[in-house]
Amino acid sequence: MESLKIKDMAIGLRYGRLLLIGVAILGAIGIIGVIQRLGWGHKWTNSGSYIPWGLWVVAYAYFVGISSGSFLLSSLLTYVFRIHVLKKIGVAPLITAIIALFLGLISIWFDLGHMERVYYVFTRPNFNSIMALIVWLYTAYFIFLILELYLALRVAASDTPKSPLSRLSNERALRILGVLASLGILLDIAISGGVGALFGTVSARPMWHNPLYPIFFILLAMISGGGVLMAVVAFLYPMLEEEREAVLKSIGRVVAAIMIFELLLEWAEFSIPMWYGVYGEEIKNMKLILFGPSWWVFWIIHLLIGFVVSLVLIFAGRKTWQWGLAGLLITLGFAASRYYNIVIPGLITPVLPGLEEAFVDHRLRHEYVPSISEWLVFIFLIAVGVFLIYIANLLLVHGKFVQINLKEETKQ
């Protein structure tokens, strides 16, 4: 096998052992939460009958957003806006999308009261329900991603002499991939928008019942997915350093633009109902987000770290790790906090005042802070995700499947 120049390896691959140790520690801590879930059901969760959805539903929306967003963003930029440099990241969005979708579905599976009945969504679906619809769409999306990855790897295999995959001629491949990409864009919009519709169609929750929610979720998906892509390209994907910079700059600027637009919509979402302070149920939820006990989620994590710091890093950054860090801050700061501030505050205001005091029980409360167990599961999923992305990228470099983008540099 041809040897690679060390500078073309991403930081994460160069310091792979360190990364693996970190992931192993996170995974070892996080698995306690998984064991608690499997061994004791929902006993260690802090959700209840009045706030039925907690951190795992937030995680589900977040991971699914990353999945659809990473692929949607890269497809749009590559095929619609013709930013050709993004072709250099090849299968990175596909790998990210597959792994994130897997994590999202695991997360929501853990949240079910009857995990063993999950297949009922296929055997007795109610297609009037947004939830059933998007589960079917996830299935179609998953099949699509696998097919797309298989074809993409076969195209890449034409450059890899020892690849076990049969080669696919470029012309034919491009034709098939072109059709699939347009189908993929539609699926991505349906999935990310569908999660928004999952909340937006619930008229019982005034804050969620917002026609713009599907749009918010499409934008959020592209922001969170774009952030993850930036981190993957900066830290894990094997490619030439100049190309890495070019790709990061392109994605970074586009993600920044979408973030600004999303924030504009957020301003409209908050300011319109709150302007005169006249009674509206959603005002209570918004006041909670801005000035409630978890005010720092919005002001510190979402705005300061997620938005301001990451924008500074994107536009003033000179090194790839700075853009990678910006990507992490965007996805874990800006996007994750927004998902959290949509799901939880939407449920936290009582549908009928006085309900909590009418019958007192720890599962009948209108307060919610994720339990340690819930956090541990989330950490576990993050660790699994990073591990799988690392392994997938490692296979691309050292594995026999493909060697990408390094042809000229690796010839010695």
Partner 1 sequence: MGEGGEDYKKFSNKKRGVEGQQIGENGKKKKGQVIKREVLKKISSTVFASIVAPAILDEVVEASEGRNGVSIKLPELPPPQPNEDVLITMMRDLQKALQKPMEQRKWVMVIDLRKCVGCHACTISCIAENKLPPGVVYRPVIEEEIGKYPNVARRFLPRPCLQCENPPCVPVCPVNATWKRPDGIVVVDYKACIGCKYCISACPYGARTSDYGEYYSDGTPEKVQYEELPSYEYHYKWKRRKKRLLGIILYEQSPIGNVLKCHFCLHRIERGLLPQCVTTCIGRATFFGDANDPESLVSKLIAQPNVMRLKEELGTNPRVFYLM
First-to-last alpha carbon distance for the chain, in angstroms, is 11
Nearer to partner 1, 25 or 351 (CB): 351
State the residues that interact with partner 1 by CB under 8 A.
38-43, 45, 48-50, 52-53, 111-118, 120-121, 124-126, 128-132, 135, 198, 201-205, 347, 350-355, 357-359, 361-364
Tally of CB atoms within 10 A around 246: 16
> At closest approach, how far in Å is the CB of 408 from partner 1?
51
Shortest separation between residue 50's beta carbon and partner 1, angstroms: 6
Q: For residues 129 and 169, which CB has a smaller minimum distance to partner 1 in the complex?
A: 129
Closest distance to partner 1 from the beta carbon of 369 (Å): 17
- Nearer to partner 1 by C-beta: 206 or 252? 206
Nearer to partner 1, 124 or 318 (CB): 124
Tokens representing 75 are: 């497809």
Torsion angle in degrees (nearest 10) through CA of 100, 97, 253, 175: 180
In angstroms, give the least distance from the CB of 263 to partner 1. Answer: 26
Q: For partner 1, which is the closer residue by CB, 3 or 127?
A: 127
Cα 308 to Cα 294: distance, rounded to the nearest angstrom: 19
Task: For partner 1, give the closer residue by CB, 128 or 412.
Answer: 128
- Pick from 177, 190, 221: which is nearest to 66 by CA? 221
Q: How far is the CB of 108 from partner 1 (least distance, A)?
A: 8
Toward partner 1, which CB reaches closer, 258 or 343? 343
Buried b (16+ CB within 10 A) or exposed e, 42-80: bebbbbbebbebbbbbbbbbbbbbbbbbbbbbbbbbbbe
Distance CA 151, CA 155 (A): 6
Given the complex with partner 1, which of 42 and 338 has the nearer CB atom?
42
Q: Rounded to the nearest whole angstrom, what is the least distance from the CB of residue 111 to partner 1 in the complex?
A: 8
**Distance, C-alpha 131 to centroid of its chain:** 18
Residue 350 beta carbon to partner 1: minimum distance, rounded to whole angstroms: 7
CB of 146 to partner 1, least distance (A): 24
* CA distances for 26 relative to 36, 45, 377, 383, angstroms: 16, 20, 10, 6
Output 94 or 121, the one with its CB closest to partner 1: 121
Shortest Å distance, C-beta 362 to partner 1: 7
